[in-house]
Structure 1
Amino acid sequence: MGFEVIKPGLLSTLQDEGRYGYRKYGVIVAGPMDRFAHRTANLLVGNGYEAVALEMTLSGPTLVAQSDRLVAICGADMEAKVDGSLAPLWQPFVLRTGSELQFQYAVEGCRAYLAVHGGFMAAEALGSHSTYLRAGMGGYEGRTLRVGDVLKMEKDESPIQLINAVDLRARSVSPRIRPDYRDNLVVRIVKGKEASYFTPESWSQLLSQSFQVTSQSDRMGYRLSSERKLALTEGISYEMISEAVACGTIQVPSSGQPIVLLADCQTTGGYPHIGHVISADLPLVAQIKPGGMLQFQEVTHREAQEQLLLQAMDLKLLEIGMQTWFRGLKK
């Protein structure tokens, strides 16, 4: 028993934390685009970070619950409704048997995450259940959802104590730690290995002008567009020997327009790396819709590490609080 897919949505895939340890063989990490929202949704329903959740992009699916389920929705606001009434965001709630959960077009942010107590069941490939679409690996048969699919659970039933809990609204995530999703964003970066290959004017342009996320963007990376191209110092080529890249790497091809690599990015790349988006800001970048704007702000490696630690502390406090609450329900 699980959820029947009535409408699949634009791009709905099952994702866990990602596929690690295989990049040396050319296998990408995959996993959620917005790791913070994915982890938060799982914590709210009593799961660990590694549990499989449903990632929905721009326009979400319509699902029918086949049994009572404890669920949570985090990330973009897709105006989710349960039998016509607005569903809560950033807090757990109960879906009753036969209830229809319907997601609309995202009015804030780009990607939403649906987690269920126990986690969704998904195919495992190379130690991960994440969907890798280009290789047809993991997730739901290695693909996006289709009409008629049935999403099954790792745990067949939610404990009755969770279903009958009366203070679920008190479990809402504090607004203090919720990301501020917007389509006009300032993104913090550190200098890349080849930043010195660019002219001083180009580095200034990177930090002063606005870039638009183009419609050619996807889970592999965001292609950006601006009025002025980023130019290399005379005598240096845009075509380089391929080397390792990672989620957050900012590459600049011969067009002079940067590309921010994201969750499904390739393992190596042959363009110069002008910078890297700090890990703490990657969830915000993942929530920018095509057509949205962003600017870059340089920070030090120390600041980047501090911001990631602060984000990890927020999640750890939420995890401790939710685990304590769940243990109390089960006594």
Structure 2
Amino acid sequence: MIEILSTSALNTIQDFGRPHALHMGVSRGGAMDRLAIAHANILLGNARDAAALEIAFFPFRARFVERTAFSLTGASCAAQLDGRPIPSNWAMTAEAGQVLVVPAPTCGAWAYFGIRGGLDVPVVLGARGTDLKGGFGGVDGRAPEKGRRLKAGCSSVPPPGNGGFGLVRGAVLPEDDHTVLRVLPAAEHEAFTSASRTAFGELAWQVTPRANRTGFRMDGRDALRLSRPLTLMSHGIVPGTVQVPPDGMPIIQMADANTCGGYPKIATVIESDLRLLAQTAIGGSVRFVPVDEAGAIAVLREEARALDCLEADVERLRGGLLD
């Protein structure tokens, strides 16, 4: 069990979200960096999609009410436990009364605080993650406030010990706030002018302060323009959809993406790269590079294989520590 000492209204409990509920008009939701939350859970022997705390505003502070194994992944934050530095992408055991402090990141934007057994909150529509727009999931549909105590679920996996262990290389973070995102052409790609299609792929786009769990609005030197007027009925969209409103500046739908919209779509960021955009700081530079469907699927398969290998490696390491 942990007690929240300082936090923000946007530091929420998340998991892999509710992709199965899109047809009901419910956002997919879930972690902005699905790979980082999977790493946090694998280090603890949890299911990959177990509920963890997603930290977006810092500093975050929590007290361990009882001896508890935990992990920190995602953004590099130079966290400390009772003043003792904790490496990035690390799992260890804290004693009752110890205080964890997670300061602002030195790289990346979203950090994940996992607990052995996962955070024990009710399952709503098949998931535990918080849907802030819908007001459900997590802790009564909102972020756990200061003073809230959060319980962990049951786990038969032995804790990692006080010293702990971690990943030599965690989920890749953008370097120098420069991010390359692989994209597939979307339905209205050919409706944009040739110059706009070229600009979309060749220009650097900047992440503006108008960025949140629903979408990231970009800014660039040239506005994207259609080759002819186009009227669209509102239709289904998903995380990764790159819409272009009348001002010509792209909006990339994120984890809490709207389930429908009527702006023309120039591209879709592949699922594996959307986390890279999430970890890009405000003001960071983004470039889009094309990939075909086979390439996008290959990336997903390689990511799944890497997670399987990581899980096996952690199990072997845990067994070695117990021998």
TM-score after normalising by structure 1: 0.92
- 1:214 maps to 2:211: no
TM superposition shift of 1:148: 0.8
Note the C-alpha offset of 1:180: 3.1
Query: What secondary structure sits across from 2:288 in the alignment?
Result: strand
RMSD: 1.9
1:236-283 CA distances to partner (integer Å, 9 max, x unpaired)? 22x411111111110111111001111000111111110011112111
Structure 2, unaligned runs of 5 or more: none
Select 1:315's aligned residue among 307, 315, 318. Answer: 307
Equivalenced residues, count = 322
**What CA deviation, in whole Å up to 9, does each residue of 1:274-327 have, x standing for no partner?**
001111211111101221110111111111111121111111101122234446
CA distance in 2, matches of 1:164, 1:233: 61
Q: CA deviation at 1:9?
A: 3.7
Q: Quick one: distance in 2 between partners of 1:163 and 1:91?
A: 10
Partner of 1:162: 159
One-letter amino acid of the structure 1 residue matched with residue 81 of structure 2: V
Match of 2:142?
A: 143
After superposition, give the CA deviation of every residue in 1:89-142 in whole Å (9 maximum; x if it has no partner): 212111111000011112110000011110011232111111000111000121
**Shift of the alpha carbon at 1:72?**
0.9
Q: Contact between 1:34 and 1:286, CA under 8 Å: does it hold in 2?
A: yes
**TM-score (normalizing by structure 2):** 0.94
Give yes or no for contact 1:34–1:287 (8 Å, CA) kept in 2. Answer: yes
Structure 1 position 225 matched with structure 2 position 219: yes
Q: Do the aligned partners of 1:14 and 1:52 also contact (CA within 8 Å) in 2?
A: yes
Partners of 2:209 and 2:181 in 1: CA distance: 19
C-alpha spacing 1:126/1:10, structure 2 compared with 1 (3 Å):
closer
Check whether the contact 2:94–2:162 (CA below 8 A) recurs between aligned residues.
Answer: no
Residue of structure 1 in register with 2:245 after alignment: 253
Task: Map 1:277-316 onto structure 2 (within 5 A).
Answer: 277-316=269-308
Moved over 3 A (4+): 163-166, 323-331
Structure 1 residue 231: Cα displacement: 0.3
Partner of 2:15: 16
Rounded Cα–Cα distance in structure 1 between residues aligned with 2:41 and 2:186: 33
CA distance in 2, matches of 1:259, 1:220: 10
| Residues 225 and 164 of structure 1, relative CA distance in 2, 3 Å threshold | closer
Measured after TM superposition, the shift of residue 193 of structure 1 is: 1.1
- CA deviation map 1:37-87 (0-9, x unaligned): 000110000001121011001424100001111111110012211111211
Task: Find the residue that maps to 1:22 and give its secondary structure.
Answer: helix
1:194 maps to what in 2?
Answer: 188
SS of residue matched to 2:289: strand
